[in-house]
Amino acid sequence: MSVQLNMTTIADDLTQDALLLDQRAQDLLFREARTANAFTDEPVTDEQLAAIFELVKWAPTAMNAQPLRVVIVRSAEARERLLPHLAEGNRAKTAAAPATALLAADLDFHDELPRTFPHFPGARDMFAGDEEGRVRTAELSAGLQVGYAIIGIRAAGLAAGPMTGFDAESLSREFFPDGRHRVLVAINMGQPAEDAWRDRLPRLPFEDVVTAL
C-alpha cells in the first residue's frame, strides 16, 4: 500500500524540525546556492582547495573506488589551453573565473583498489579484464564525487559554476594526455560577482518526484 504524503503543506516545518543542519548551513549549501556565472578576481587559495578536498574525499563510491581526478586551472597559460575546448557561451565567464576545476574519471581506478579496498584482494583483477564495466563504474562513482565537490566548494564560502558545455574528448586529451581519463564536468569557482546569478528556476516538488511505498 502506498503512503500519500502532502509535503507541500509541511515543507517549511520539515526543514526546521527534521534536519540537523542549522538554517544558515542549509541556505549556504542548498537554498541560496545557485550556479554562478560571474566572479570577482579574488584568488582561490591552496588552503581553500585542500579544505574542499577534505570534504569531497568522503563521497560514497562503488567499492571505495574513488576514481575522481582533478586539475585546477588558475594560471593564464593553463586558461589559454582550456578556453578553446569550451562551448563559446562558456568561454568569457571561464576566462574571468579565478579558478576552474576539471573533474575527470580515472578509467584505471582499479589499480588503486589494493590500497582503497584492501579487504577484497581480488577487486583489482575483477575490473582488470572488464573495460566496459570499469568505465561504467568510474563514471558513475566520479559523478557522485562531482556532487560532493559542488557542495564542498559552497562549504568553503565560494560560488560554483558547473559546466558540461565542452568538447570532452579534446579537453580530456589536453589535460589528461595519457588517454585514461575522461573529463565529466568543469566547475568555475570563486567569490561571486554582483551580477553572478540568473533568476532561480523552478524545482519539481516532492510529490512529483518521490513515491513512498
How does DSSP assign 163-211, residue by residue? E--B-HHHHHHHH-TTS-EEEEEEEEEESBPTT--PPPPP---HHHH--
Does residue 137 share a domain with residue 64?
A: yes
Does residue 157 share a domain with residue 71?
A: yes
Does residue 151 share a domain with residue 81?
A: yes
Amino acid identity for residue 173 in this structure:
R
Does residue 169 share a domain with residue 74?
A: yes
Per DSSP, the residues of 15-54 read HHHS-SS-HHHHIIIIIS------B-SPPPPHHHHHHHHH
Does residue 180 share a domain with residue 210?
A: no
Question: Rounded to an integer, what distance in angstroms lies between the CA atom of residue 166 and that of residue 164?
Answer: 6
Per the DSSP assignment, residues forming a β-bridge with 70 are 103
Does residue 45 share a domain with residue 10?
A: no
Does residue 18 share a domain with residue 110?
A: no
Does residue 149 share a domain with residue 163?
A: yes
Does residue 12 share a domain with residue 51?
A: no
Whose CA is closest to 180, among 120, 145, 134? 134
Does residue 12 share a domain with residue 103?
A: no
In this predicted structure, what is the pLDDT of residue 15? 60
Does residue 156 share a domain with residue 143?
A: yes
pLDDT digits (tens, 9 = 90+) for 96-116: 999 999 999 999 999 999 999
Does residue 40 share a domain with residue 30?
A: no
pLDDT digits (tens, 9 = 90+) for 146-155: 999 999 999 9
In this predicted structure, what is the pLDDT of residue 141? 98
In this predicted structure, what is the pLDDT of residue 2? 43
Per-residue pLDDT of the chain (213 residues; tens, 9 = 90+): 344 455 444 455 666 678 999 999 999 999 999 999 999 999 999 999 999 999 999 999 999 999 999 999 999 999 999 999 999 999 999 999 999 999 999 999 999 999 999 999 999 999 999 999 999 999 999 999 999 999 999 999 999 999 999 999 999 999 999 999 999 999 999 999 999 998 889 999 999 999 999
Specify the number of domains making up the chain.
2
Indicate which CATH number applies to the domain containing 172: 3.40.109.10
Range of the structural domain that residue 28 is part of? 1-34+199-213
